[in-house]
């Protein structure tokens, strides 16, 4: 069964260091989402891609976060420099359709980031 792949599963980093997460969506899925989930809260959308284009990054802290999906397939989310408040689960999801046809989304296993 096709899955959304994420790596690493766990990451511990010191504050002010750079950290990167990788996501490979289900093959053929046009839409890719990055979410941040703080313990006890629902996922918060950071960035949404439709193919290689950013559709929504209104909640992405652009002074320290960046995201790319250069070939419209896999994606990388980077934080530089990391802060203690960035400790959270970072989730990637993909959807087969986009825009007006969006109806379902599938999640990867997530990357749990701890900033010390």
Partner 1 sequence: EDKVVQSPLSLVVHEGDTVTLNCSYEVTNFRSLLWYKQEKKAPTFLFMLTSSGIEKKSGRLSSILDKKELSSILNITATQTGDSAIYLCAVFSGNTGKLIFGQGTTLQVKP
Catalog residues that contact partner 1 under the rule CB under 8 A: 31, 33, 35, 40-45, 48, 50, 55-56, 89, 91, 93, 95, 97-110
Mapping DSSP to helix (H, G, I), strand (E, B) and coil, where does residue 94 land? strand
For the CB of residue 14, give the shortest distance to partner 1 in the complex, in Å.
25
Report yes or no: 77 and 58 within 8 Å, Cβ to Cβ. no
For the CB of residue 43, give the shortest distance to partner 1 in the complex, in Å.
5
Residue 60: how many CB atoms within 10 A of its CB? 19
For the CB of residue 3, give the shortest distance to partner 1 in the complex, in Å.
10
Q: Can you name the residues that pair with 34 across neighbouring β-strands?
A: 47, 92
């Amino acid at each position: 069964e096709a899955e959304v792949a994420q790596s690493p599963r766990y990451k511990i980093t010191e504050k002010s260091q750079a950290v990167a997460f990788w996501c490979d969506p289900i093959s053929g899925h046009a839409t890719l989402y990055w979410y941040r989930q703080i313990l006890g809260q629902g996922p918060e959308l950071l960035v949404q891609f439709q193919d290689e284009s950013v559709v929504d990054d209104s909640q992405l802290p652009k002074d320290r976060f960046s995201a790319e999906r250069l070939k419209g397939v896999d994606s990388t989310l980077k934080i530089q420099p990391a802060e203690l408040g960035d400790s959270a689960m970072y989730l990637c999801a993909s959807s087969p359709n986009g825009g007006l046809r969006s109806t379902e989304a599938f999640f990867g296993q997530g990357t749990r980031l701890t900033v010390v």
